[in-house]
Structure 1
């Protein structure tokens, strides 16, 4: 086991499952009822999971089109010398919403960008290039479907809240 890896028990997995279902509206009391512990235990476990960097953030899922950003683009990029600082620089660019650094291959970054028009997207593409990346391909995203990782305590939790 990696020295930074955290061992999760059934309660931790149940809490993570409940958060993935709805982190905003599930109270610690409701999560506790679902996994069979008190609200105080849930708060303590959440604090430990956050400190251990198991839970890194609580981000909303945004419908960019409804928010006025009709274009969501996926840039596939190549960096001659991949570095973690590149991702940090990319995230500072207005319009960049996510960066994935890949371990293998020459196309080693996926950058998701939002904009209200093609001029905004072109501005972001130029800023990405200024960070030292070559934009190999740009694709307009239609829809993205995600689901929670279902191995975090679905069987531990009582019926979903």
Structure 2
């Protein structure tokens, strides 16, 4: 994306806002133990999660993913890790609790995470192929080479060194 495009700045602003939102939410809980008052069955559900320490785990995950997104380090990993919590927050706030505050925060969270995942989805393009061969993390650069869709081990010296299965 070109830095001359207004979308470049819009996406970066959304990334900074979403990262700061997650950091604030997680750090507010870590420092003060603040749990928002949620009425009805939604509040009971949040309390049940807190009783089994799932709520706390999600809040600390928000700190980690918020930092990843805000500081633009492993942004796609942060967005993917946060997505299940985002869907959970959206569902709980929009359909279960549905008070004015929740009707704002639930869709907002899903919108920001969804738009950012879409904006950064080019980086996960290699993983969206219908058929993939195993590829170790340290050989990940091979995923972006032309013609890599066929069997990797059948290529003649694609990565410079031979696989164990290639040695006679």
* TM-score relative to the length of structure 1: 0.32
Q: Which of structures 1 and 2 has the bigger CA Rg? A: 2
User: Higher strand fraction: Structure 1 or Structure 2?
Assistant: 1
1 or 2 for the larger relative contact order (CA 8 Å, sep ≥6)?
Answer: 1
